[in-house]
A and B are shown apart, each in its own frame.
Chain A
Amino acid sequence: MAERVGIEVSVAIGDAARLANVDVIAAYPITPQTHIVEHLAELVANGELDAAYIPVESEHSAMSACLGSAAAGARTFTATAGQGLELMHEVLYVASSMRFPVVMTVANRALSSPLSVWGDHSDVMAVRDTGWIQIFTENGQEVVDHVFCAFRIAEDNKVLLPVMIHLDGFHLSHVIEPITFPEQSKVDKFLPPNSYPLPLHPDRPVTMGDFAPPIIYPEAKWAQEVNLRASKETILKCWQEFADIFGHRYSPVESYHGEKAKTLLLTMGSFSETAMTAIDKMRGKGKDVGLVRLRLWRPFPFEEFRRAVAGAETLIVVDRALSFGGPGGPVCSEVKAALYGEAKKPKVVSFVAGIGGRDISPSDFETIVNKGIKISEKGSPNEFEIFGVRE
């Protein structure tokens, strides 16, 4: 029987990795990811998880060790946050370019300076172009579910790409939630053993990460791009099968009363749940407003996104990161680019909110919506604004 327990989300992630039967964990602790890898270290030390736990000296080394592990065909897991993700940066490209199915949970955290251990999406946006499949989660159950889905997607021989699961630091990582764990037998059935096709083996020598002169580099990169785009098909199939077996349904873009709404709010991550409360309140007052939640960040779900916002007049995007000197929040820029070629499209308004762990309450979302509608009608001298900044 599936088991429903009250548990800290970070600990639950460790348990999910155990159920996913990971072979290797290479990680370096960093707030707010610490409890995830702490719990995994404990599971390995107690003999509850038959895996190699590699304590490394930095995140750069963590991801490098993950490369080696994945190259040998082992099921490989790691986790990080904020500065740690930045220190991994160059190795992230190598993981996706060499097509290694590593799975990583990122407890999203703001970047220094000033030093902040609290949550936002600065770390996510800085690794946007690293070629990983990237998925946002809204609550603990979603993170646990996505650990299973992520391995299934990553290791699918049609995909063979690393997957990042984003969960908001503290707002998700450190809260205790009721979480349903599936039975081991069901996980095993859903998640067959890793079958990486070209593992390092003395009988079949290969060269990984070889040298590519200009005559072949663009071909290698295009192959990677085609592959990442095509992964969406496998992602959709995986989520469908997951829903059939476990009953939890996931889509690249998820709508909450958004189908016919005149005004749409767009969020990602755990703040989507707060936004839903705000939407309920506003709709209760007769306001024609809905919510669009972006789950799949890479590959960007262009079709699903355009469909989700097609009927709206105003689309208010709430980013949790800055693109300094740029056109607005990073997600908003992408949204605008995705809509540029459309004949009929909503007016897009850009807000940045909740950076460095600043809370956004349901009533804050109400204020954002009201302000956004006004800006879409009358225009604004600014490309975007940081919500709630004291003048």
Chain B
Amino acid sequence: MAKRKPKSEGEMTWKDLEIGAIVTEPGNASWYKTGDWRSQRPTYDFKKCIKCALCQIFCPEGCILQNDDGYFEADMYYCKGCGICARECPTGVVTMVEEEE
């Protein structure tokens, strides 16, 4: 789902930058991977899910979307592992577990 940019910041040289480091491509914040900030990740027991969408509403990253079966799931490219979805879920669908390499 996340767009990837042609050259990552780590590959860009000073000559690749626009004047004043101006960004000329609108909406490219979506390239920015925040998923690697995560130290915990959400796991799901969808049997308990009532599809109330509270997790989606509370997610500060706005990265929780409905999957093909209508259950709510975080996009791991962006999920920072804050655990708010786990805390707010009224039926205990989400459990945070340690992120392992």
Chains A and B bind each other:
yes
* Interface of A toward B, CB cutoff 8 Å: 97-100, 160, 197-198, 204-208, 210, 212-213, 215-216, 219-220, 222-223, 226
User: Which residues of B are found within 8 Å of A216, using beta-carbon distances?
Assistant: 9, 12, 17, 21
B52 within 8 A of A: no
Known contacts A205-B26, A206-B24, A213-B9, A219 near B17 by CB under 8 Å: yes
Distance, CA A198 to CA B18, complexed state (A): 10
Do B19 and A197 touch across chains, with their CB atoms under 8 A apart?
Answer: yes
Once the chains bind, are B21 and A226 in contact (CB under 8 Å)?
no
Given A205-B26, A216-B21, A220-B14, 5 new contacts (CB under 8 A): A98-B20, A197-B19, A198-B22, A208-B22, A213-B9
A206-B10 CB under 8 A given contacts A223-B15, A223-B17: no
Interface residues of B in 1-42 (CB under 8 A from A): 9-10, 12-24, 26
Q: Which size bracket describes the interface of B in this complex?
A: 10 to 19
Q: Which 9 A-B pairs have the closest CB atoms?
A: A99-B20, A207-B23, A98-B20, A219-B14, A223-B14, A205-B26, A220-B21, A222-B14, A216-B9
* Closest B residue to A227 using CB positions: B19
What are 28 inter-chain pairs, A to B, with CB distance below 8 A? A98-B20, A98-B21, A99-B19, A99-B20, A100-B20, A198-B19, A204-B24, A206-B23, A206-B24, A206-B26, A207-B22, A208-B20, A208-B22, A210-B22, A210-B23, A212-B21, A216-B9, A216-B21, A219-B12, A219-B14, A220-B14, A220-B17, A220-B21, A223-B14, A223-B15, A223-B17, A223-B21, A226-B14
Q: Which residues of A contact B12 (CB under 8 A)?
A: 216, 219
Bound together, the chains give a CA A204 to CA B18 distance in angstroms of 14
Q: A205-B26, A219-B14 are in contact. Are A97 and B9 (CB under 8 A)?
A: no
Residues of A within 8 A of B17 (CB): 216, 219-220, 223
With contacts A219-B14, A222-B14 known, is A210 near B9, CB below 8 A?
A: no
- Contact status A219-B13, CB under 8 Å: yes
B35 CB to nearest chain A CB (Å): 15
In the complex formed, the residue of A with least CB distance to B15 is A223
Q: How many angstroms between the C-alpha atoms of A271 and B20 in the bound complex?
A: 36
Name A198's closest neighbour in chain B (CB-CB): B22
Most buried by B among A204, A207, A210, A212: A207
Do B9 and A160 have beta carbons less than 8 Å apart?
no
Complex Cα distance, B18 from A222, in Å, reads 13
CA distance A216 to B9 in the complex (A): 6
Assembly CA distance A389 to B52 (angstroms): 79
Q: How long is the Cα–Cα vector from A236 to B10 in the complex, in angstroms?
A: 36
B10:A215 contact, CB within 8 angstroms: yes
A206 and B22 within 8 A (CB): yes
Q: Which residues of A contact B9 (CB under 8 A)?
A: 213, 215-216
Interface flags, B31-75, vs A, CB<8A=1, else 0: 000000000000000000000000000000000000000000000
| Bound complex: CA A99 to CA B10 (Å) | 23
Q: Nearest chain A CB to B93's CB is how many angstroms away? A: 33
B19, A97: Cβ atoms under 8 Å?
A: no
A106 to B93, CA, bound (A): 64
Tell me the complex Cα distance, A100–B20, Å. Answer: 8
Instruction: Please give, as numbers and ranges, the residues of chain A lying within 8 Å of B26 by CB-CB distance.
Output: 205-207
Most A CB contacts (10 A, CB to CB) among B12, B17, B21 go to B21
| B residues less than 8 Å from A223 (CB atoms) | 14-15, 17, 21
- Chain B residue contacts of A208, Cβ below 8 A: 20, 22-23
Q: How far is the CA of A220 from the CA of B23 in the complex (A)?
A: 12
- Bound-state CA distance A271–B61 (Å) is 60
Closest Cβ of chain B: how far from A91's Cβ, in Å? 14
Which residue of chain B lies nearest to A197 when distances are taken between CB atoms in the complex?
B19
Q: A98 — which chain B residues lie within 8 A by C-beta?
A: 20-22
Across-interface contacts of B13 in A (CB, < 8 A): 219
